[in-house]
Structure 1
Amino acid sequence: MLDFIIGLACSFLIAFAAFKKSSLNKSGFIAATVLGTGIYYFGGLWFSIIMVSFFVSSSVLTKFKSSNKEALDNMNEKGGSRDYIQVFANGGIGLIFAFLHFVYNSPIFLLAYAVSFGVSTSDTWASEVGVLSKNKPISILNFKPIEKGMSGGISILGTIFAFLGSAFISIIFFIAYMVIYNNIQQGINYSLLCLFLGFLGSVIDSILGASIQAQYYCEDTKGFTEKRVYKNKTNKLVKGFSIVNNDVVNFSSNLISTLLALIIL
């Protein structure tokens, strides 16, 4: 019961601070509180540290040079304030593995948990910093230039930060692994795997974004967008599937990467 109360109190305070900073909207605030409480209750302190490391670092980068990203508002489906779907798309799989670790106390589930947040961190860092590149991104599928902010685009700057984001979580995971299991050789091996799969997850995210994620053409703005509706008008679907938005892509790339961790081990 004490773990639940601590988890609830800490998650509420962190989520409320994020809400006040507009990093979360109301539904995102509630979802983050629920997610954080569950992760602390099932996983404990180090599981929560990994999650908070993702969330805080990603929120900071979302706000970083936000004025330079305003031009992308008409292109992206959602703004900088995360809603409940975004919260669970990025953290829901992690909650499942925290529960599995609680039940089975296996280091494999700690690794899968870290990979989950490694993917989310890698993808978010790449997206938030990559759009600041001076050069246009290229499609990960055909290497042709595409507009900044469109899913499936990659750049040198974004790729570097995708790797750094995964490395960031991998380092925290290594510390957590040593505290919980105190096996340095296995900790190093698992950390390298976490680094690789976290970065791979961002690549998978880009591939899915470029191939099956919905992309629309807006007659009002005369441009491509991920928004299905603009000013109460339905935009024309020109690529992908209407049911596949950015949240679906994020969840899918996260799921694929964590399952790969289980298959490899």
Structure 2
Amino acid sequence: MVESTATDAVLFRLALGLFISASIGLLAYWRRSLARSGVLGAIVTGTLIFGFGGWIAGLLLIAFFVSSSLLSHFKENNVRKQRAAEMFDKGSQRDLAQALANGGAAAGWAVLSWLAREQPATADALYAAMVGALAAVNADTWATELGVLSRSSPRLITQLHQRVAPGTSGGITALGTGAATSGAAFIGLCYVVFTVLYRAITGPADAPDASSHFLAVIIAATIAGLAGSLFDSLLGATVQAMYYSKRRDKETEKRFERDGTPNRLIRGWPWLNNDWVNFLASLFGAAVAAGIWIIATGNR
């Protein structure tokens, strides 16, 4: 009977998650924040996170998506932002690969957390990993969208004495690092707010066990998110595929120009584009969050 009730609850949340994510995805497409394929990605990740992670997880995904979409359009006509955008592989309209890169890891951790629900300590650690994954992608998005507005030239994370052009993979600034920290903390704080509201509506008995350790969640999300963002920069400076555009005489993440002209690979692994970097960074953030959670709670 208990198993049947749990399954029914998930099926209801999956149906509701499908409706909510589809509605938000279509609205985002209308607002030019998502490409057509990006709507599909939003539906897949949103449905899984809502269904298996629950309301709090679903609201965290919405918090990430709304804040990152708003920042994508923030000062979009700024000269620094437009010049940096020329180096990026893709524009502000997220496609399927970007949606999965940003939300795929969190969706996976949500599913695993639900499957481990009969082992509370393991389920809580996996849930913390999900929060860490969202904190990492949110931190990286905030760092990218705000960091390019810095008046100071970025420094390469592997050689801090070396200044690089805004938008260069692996480049970091004080503004971008501060934005990453804020973006990660934002997810942690949202978790606390959403959990308090959830408990007020449903009662403590229905709230996730992890919600009783608010300080641990905020600390884990902030550290994990910042770590994920810096790991993203480290990959960008070392092994991410980077190309040289002869037409524009500059380094770029773009494998091809808009007219299909191929650019020359100058460093990195050909398969490791920005989407893979974002996904790996979210996994790194998830691992850090889970580790901090286990240490902070004694894995009780």
Q: What TM-score do the two structures reach when normalised by structure 2? A: 0.84
Secondary structure at the aligned position of 2:240 is classed as coil
Render the CA deviation track for 1:171-221: whole Å, top value 9, x for unaligned: 122345564246776331232122111111111111111111111111111
Q: How far apart are the structure 2 equivalents of 1:36 and 1:43?
A: 10
CA contact (8 A) 2:243 2:267 kept: yes
Q: Work out which of the residue numbers 172, 194, 203 in structure 1 matches 2:221.
A: 194
Percent identity over the alignment?
Answer: 35
Alignment partner, residue 164 of structure 1: 182
Shift of 1:39: 1.3
Task: Sort the Cα spacing of 1:136 and 1:7 in 2 relative to 1 into closer, same or farther, 3 A.
Answer: same
Q: Work out which of the residue numbers 59, 69, 77 in structure 2 matches 1:59.
A: 69
Shift of 1:54: 0.5
Please list every run of 5 or more consecutive structure 2 residues that lacks an aligned counterpart in the other structure: 1-10, 118-122, 200-206, 295-300
Q: Which stretch of the first structure deviates more once superposed, 40-49 or 157-166? A: 40-49
Q: How far apart are the structure 2 equivalents of 1:175 and 1:195?
A: 15
Larger radius of gyration: 2
The code of the aligned residue for 1:168 comes to F
Alignment partner, residue 271 of structure 2: 243
Secondary structure at the aligned position of 1:108 is classed as helix
Alignment partner, residue 146 of structure 1: 164
Q: How far apart are the structure 2 equivalents of 1:133 and 1:166?
A: 19
CA contact (8 A) 1:177 1:187 kept: no
Alignment partner, residue 95 of structure 1: 107
Q: Work out which of the residue numbers 20, 23, 26 in structure 1 matches 2:33.
A: 23
Shift of 1:242: 1.3
Aligned alpha-carbon RMSD (Å): 1.7
Render the CA deviation track for 1:4-51: whole Å, top value 9, x for unaligned: 321111111111111111110000011101211121111221110111
Render the CA deviation track for 1:66-118: whole Å, top value 9, x for unaligned: 11222234311100000111111111111111112222232212211110000
Alignment partner, residue 59 of structure 2: 49
* Number of aligned positions between the proteins: 265
Alignment partner, residue 234 of structure 2: 207
Shift of 1:63: 0.4
Q: How far apart are the structure 2 equivalents of 1:27 and 1:184?
A: 34
Q: What TM-score do the two structures reach when normalised by structure 1? A: 0.94
Alignment partner, residue 255 of structure 1: 283
Secondary structure at the aligned position of 2:244 is classed as strand
The code of the aligned residue for 1:206 comes to S
Task: Sort the Cα spacing of 1:175 and 1:111 in 2 relative to 1 into closer, same or farther, 3 A.
Answer: farther
Task: Sort the Cα spacing of 1:238 and 1:183 in 2 relative to 1 into closer, same or farther, 3 A.
Answer: closer
Secondary structure at the aligned position of 2:168 is classed as coil
Q: How far apart are the structure 1 equivalents of 2:30 and 2:52?
A: 27
Please list every run of 5 or more consecutive structure 1 residues that lacks an aligned counterpart in the other structure: none
- The reply to whether residue 115 of structure 1 matches residue 143 of structure 2 is no
Shift of 1:260: 3.2
Render the CA deviation track for 1:139-165: whole Å, top value 9, x for unaligned: 011121111111101011111100000
Q: How far apart are the structure 1 equivalents of 2:264 and 2:44?
A: 36
Task: Sort the Cα spacing of 1:2 and 1:185 in 2 relative to 1 into closer, same or farther, 3 A.
Answer: closer
Secondary structure at the aligned position of 1:233 is classed as coil
Task: Sort the Cα spacing of 1:121 and 1:93 in 2 relative to 1 into closer, same or farther, 3 A.
Answer: same
Task: Sort the Cα spacing of 1:214 and 1:26 in 2 relative to 1 into closer, same or farther, 3 A.
Answer: same
